[in-house]
């Protein structure tokens, strides 16, 4: 989704952590993926 840009993925997860503290690591990754999918279509 990000063309292999690992740094972009890490930045998005970091931003999600700041917006919604206290979630699991898996939750943050799933949230970022859902947001990317939503914004793609």
Please give the full DSSP string across 1-41, using - where no structure is assigned: --TT-HHHHHHHHHHHHHHSTT--HHHHHHHHHHHHHHHH-
Q: pLDDT digit string (tens) for 6-35?
A: 999 999 999 999 999 999 999 999 999 999
pLDDT at position 41 over 90: no
Tally of CB atoms within 10 A around 3: 5
pLDDT at position 3 over 90: yes
pLDDT at 15: 98
Q: What does pTM read for this prediction?
A: 0.88
């Amino acid at each position: 989704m990000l063309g292999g840009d690992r740094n972009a993925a890490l930045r998005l997860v970091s931003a999600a952590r700041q917006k919604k503290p206290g979630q699991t690591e898996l939750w943050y990754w799933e949230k970022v993926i859902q947001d990317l999918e939503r914004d793609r279509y």
